[in-house]
A = this chain, B = another copy of it.
């Protein structure tokens, strides 16, 4: 599998140098692997820190900036970052108002963020933590590590980020984050596996005529393999899965997310089918975001995330945001 890289060992460091070159509005510590919003800490503002394995770009580094994250900690590809990164980030963005850790629910991420929280608290930083677990493809949470954190992470980072920007205190920012996570559900589909630099090839093999339903964002296979479907059928399966689980009774925020390898042309066509499928279920869509936001390297496929929105969440969604990957209102 050919990749636009130097050597697998430097992929993350190389990307950080590129982010530094392209985004003067960010402070990138390549050695310690922390991306910080210029000017942080902001007086009186709660600091938002997230992070996770690399390979999901623009998540999380692309969401650092006004109205969203104050810092992001990229780990190796598909490997959660180490505690030192998050404790360093916490120290860098804490204005005294405390720091919120936004953690996707994976054993590695949870363990490393927990250790980081201990370190940060030792240094006198007040830390709150929210774990994102929106993936309905993980059915039994008792006999698994629990639902995975996927697309809803974008909603949590945007909405909690907006609340923090408004000056809300740590407990309220954390409250918004938890509320958003509880109101969100995701379901992912893969048409191809992705290839990681360290493996140098596909992480699993998926024959021409088949697809994987219920995949995560780490190149792991899904819960079920099926014969290839049309965009409309995939939309129905995805929408059914999230609606069935959330049973929304208010307009939703919709993320039609590309896994990375699916062309935007196809993704917009899929978005049309998702809208059709939601309309058939009498679910109205308040806002729609279409694009490659929570990716799995070069995997072809998509995920659908819905978040039941109320007045406050809609206001926070529309609030100004200015990051490399998400920007409006300013």
Name A residues whose Cβ lies closer than 8 Å to a Cβ of B: 1-7, 10-12, 14-22, 54-55, 57-58, 62, 77, 191-192, 208, 211, 228, 230-232, 234, 256, 260-273, 275, 285, 288-290, 292, 295, 297-298, 300-302, 322, 327-328, 330
Contacts and interface: CB of A to CB of B under 8 A. Distances in A.
A325 B314 CA distance: 22
Given A22-B288, A261-B298, A6 B191 contact: no
Contacts of A231: 4-6, 14
10 contacts: A2-B228, A4-B269, A4-B270, A5-B266, A7-B230, A17-B275, A18-B269, A18-B275, A57-B264, A263-B298
Contacts of A11: 265-266, 269
Given A261-B261, A263-B57, A18 B268 contact: yes
Given A273-B14, A327-B327, A264 B295 contact: yes
Contact of A265 (B57, B232, B272): B57
Contacts of A234: 4
Nearest 5 A-B pairs (CB), nearest first?
A: A14-B269, A18-B268, A17-B272, A18-B271, A57-B264
Given A14-B269, A290-B18, A2 B264 contact: no
The A contact surface, by secondary structure, is mixed
A1 to B, nearest CB: 8
Contact of A302 (B4, B14, B267): B4
Give the number of copies in the complex. 2
Given A6-B231, A57-B265, 6 more contacts: A2-B211, A4-B262, A15-B268, A22-B271, A22-B290, A62-B264
Contacts of A22: 256, 268, 271, 288-290
A328 B320 CA distance: 11
A207 to B, nearest CB: 10
A57 B291 CA distance: 11
B54 A265 contact: yes
B265 A300 contact: no
Nearest to A259: B4
Contacts of A54: 265
Contact of A15 (B57, B272, B295, B300): B272
A97 to B, nearest CB: 28
Contacts of A19: 268
A261 B259 CA distance: 10
Contacts of A270: 4, 18
A302 to B, nearest CB: 6
A17 B275 CA distance: 9
A17 B288 CA distance: 13
A261 B310 CA distance: 37
A174 B148 CA distance: 52
